[in-house]
Amino acid sequence: MKNSTNNITIETERLSRLAEHLHKGKLYENIDRSSISVPLSIYQNGRAVRYYDFPFCECAHIFKEWIFTPDGIPVLDGISQPTVVDSAMDFFNLDSHSFQHLFAPQAQDCDTYGGQMLERNATEKEVAYNIRCFLERVH
């Protein structure tokens, strides 16, 4: 099912599936939280945005449309010169504001989308909680 917000049609079923997987806490990729580095991506107007990489590593395991590049980067299959951010925004049909709320540390707009502020070392369950709150708001 798709729902619209700000003229964007959000892929709610895909986001819900990701949230459910993250909430279970049984990730395919082993994440060492003590040494996690939040990757940097440049997109939209040259703005630098830090985001969590673990949700997208999991996407490569739970969605057939996602793959790992030879360098181990999770991306949406079939996009020319894909980036993680472009892949996620395309696959879940998110605008930059929604993407940041869901996947960027300390970039949450809780008044608009619900959820809680996410710290740099947020857990998969905390990210899942914000996805679920977001889905309730856009539903």
pLDDT tens-digit readout, 42-55 = 555 566 667 888 89
For the chain, what's the residue count?
139
The greatest distance separating any two alpha carbons of the chain, rounded to the nearest whole angstrom, comes to 40
Q: How far apart are CA 96 and CA 92, in angstroms?
A: 11
3-state secondary structure at position 74: strand
12 or 80, greater pLDDT: 12
Q: How far is CA 77 from CA 21, 66, 82, 111, in A?
A: 20, 5, 8, 34
pTM, whole model, 2 decimals? 0.84
Number of domain units in the chain: 1
Residue 35 has what pLDDT?
45
pLDDT band at residue 39, thresholds of 50, 70 and 90?
A: low
Owning domain of residue 127: 2-138
| Beta partners for residue 4, in sequence order | 9
3-state secondary structure at position 49: strand
The tokens describing 119, both together, are 């710290």
Vertex 67: Cα angle to 35 and 24 (nearest 5): 60
Q: Residue with structure tokens 């395309």?
A: 90
Torsion of CA 89, 110, 35, 61, to 10 degrees: -40
